[in-house]
Amino acid sequence: MKAEPIAPEIAQRAVEWLVELQSSAADESTHQALRRWREADPRHERAWQRIEAFHGRFSSLDTPTRQTLSTAAQAPAHSPERRQAIRTLAVLLFAGGTAWGLREHTPWPAWTADLRTGTGQRTRMELADGSVLQLNSGSAVDVRYDARQRCIHLHEGEILVETAPDAAGRPFLVQCRDGRAQALGTRFSLRQWPDDSLLAVHEGAVAVYPALQQDSRRVNSGEQLRFDRQGWGESSAVRPGDLAWLQGMLVADGMRLADLLGELQRHRPGRLTCAEAVADLRVSGTYPLENTDRAIETLASTLGLRSRYFTRYWVSLEPSA
C-alpha cells in the first residue's frame, strides 16, 4: 500500500530539526528534544527517516541542497533568511512525485544532483572504486553504485571519466538523456549538446547504446561519436585540445568565432555574442577560461574587432568600423 504523503507542517518541522542540529547552538538537549518529537507520532518518525536518507546522499558533496542547509544553519534563528532556506529545503526533500514528475520539463534533476558545477567551475572527484570523475563548467551528475553496477547519470554538461578495475566485476555505465555508454576499461568524455550527445574515447573503448536502440556501437581510442535517442550520428577523430578545459584553457584550431564564443560562454555568466558579419571568422589560439575578459580582449585585438559591453554581463564582438 502506498504510504500516506507527509503533511507539509510535519515536513517543515523535520527540516527545522535538521537545521537546528547543524547550527552552532545544538547540544545534547537538542538531540533529546528531537528524540521526543520523533517518538510522539509515527508520522514524525517517517519524516525524520526521509531526512536522514537524503542527508546521507548530499552530506559529503557540494550540492545545492547542502548549500541551502548551510545557509539556514548559519542564519540567525527566526530570521527571514533561515525561514526561506527552510521552506526551500522542505520542497527539495519532500516534494516527492510532484516535483519529480516534472523531470522531463524542468532542470530539477540537474539542480538537485549529487555533484554539480556552476558557471566557470570545474571539479574532480575520486569515486568509491578508485575511478575518477571530472566535471566541466555547468555540469550535473548523480552517482549510483550498487551490487550490480556502477552508474553515473549525466543530467547536463560534460564529464571526463577514468575507470578503475572493479573486484566485483560490475560494469561501469554512464546514462544520459540520449542513451548510455558502457566503459570497456577506458578514459572517455561525454558531453550533452542541445540536440544530441558527443562521446570521445581517449583510452580503451566504449560501447554506446542510444536510448531507442537495442544494439550498441563500439567507439575506440582516438574516436568520437555523436548520438541521440534514435541512433548514431557521425564519427570522427578526437581533436587535440578537446580536454584543455582540464587545465583551464580553451584551444581553438580554425574554429568559427561564433562557436568559440559559445564555448567561452559556458565559463562566463551573462551573454557573449558577436555580430553576424564576423561570426564565420576563423580563429586559432589558446584562451584562458579563468579570465574570459582577457580572452575577449585578445580576440578583439587579434581580429581587429571591438568589444561592446552593453552591461558587465552582456558583451558583443563587432566590426571596428
| Residue 198 contacts residue 226 (beta carbons within 8 Å) | yes
Strands 187-192 and 158-162 turn out to be antiparallel
User: Any residues with CB less than 8 A from the CB of 65 and at least 6 apart, and which?
Assistant: 54, 58, 89, 92, 93, 112
List strands edge to edge, sheet with 305-311.
271-274, 314-319, 305-311
Q: Which amino acid is it at 48?
A: W
Q: What letter would DSSP give residue 109?
A: H
Do 89 and 197 lie in a common domain? no
| Burial readout 155-186 (b: 16 or more C-beta within 10 A, e: otherwise) | bbbbbbbbbeeeeeeeebbbbbebbbbbbbeb
Do 141 and 79 lie in a common domain? no
pLDDT at 106: 37
- pLDDT tens per residue, the chain (321 residues)? 445 556 667 888 888 898 888 887 888 999 999 999 999 999 899 888 888 776 655 554 445 666 777 777 787 877 888 888 887 777 667 654 333 333 333 355 666 788 889 889 999 999 999 999 999 999 999 999 999 999 999 999 999 999 999 989 999 999 999 999 999 988 999 999 989 999 999 999 999 999 999 899 999 999 999 999 999 999 999 998 999 999 999 999 999 999 999 999 999 987 888 999 999 999 999 999 999 999 999 999 999 999 988 777 788 899 987
pLDDT at 156: 93
Given 100, 126, 153, the domain boundary residue is 100
User: Any residues with CB less than 8 A from the CB of 321 and at least 6 apart, and which?
Assistant: none
Given 218, 237, 256, the domain boundary residue is 237
Do 177 and 71 lie in a common domain? no
In sequence order, the β-bridge partners of residue 288 are 249
- Each residue's pLDDT tens digit, 241-270: 999 999 999 999 999 999 999 999 999 987
Do 196 and 165 lie in a common domain? yes
Kindly state the cell numbers that stand for 30: 537538542
pLDDT at 71: 77
H or E stretch covering 116: strand 115-116
Kindly state the cell numbers that stand for 164: 578503475
Do 195 and 292 lie in a common domain? no
Please indicate, yes or no, whether the overall pTM of this predicted structure exceeds 0.85.
no
- Estimate the crossing angle of helix 8-22 against helix 80-94, to 10 degrees: 120
Q: How far apart, in whole angstroms, are the C-alpha atoms of residue 134 and residue 10?
A: 38
Query: Containing domain of residue 144, as a range?
Result: 113-237
State the CATH number of the domain containing residue 254: 3.55.50.30
- 243 belongs to a structural domain: no
pLDDT at 96: 43
Looking at the structure of the chain, the number of domains it has is: 3
pLDDT at 101: 35
Given 182, 216, 237, the domain boundary residue is 237
pLDDT at 108: 56
pLDDT at 308: 87
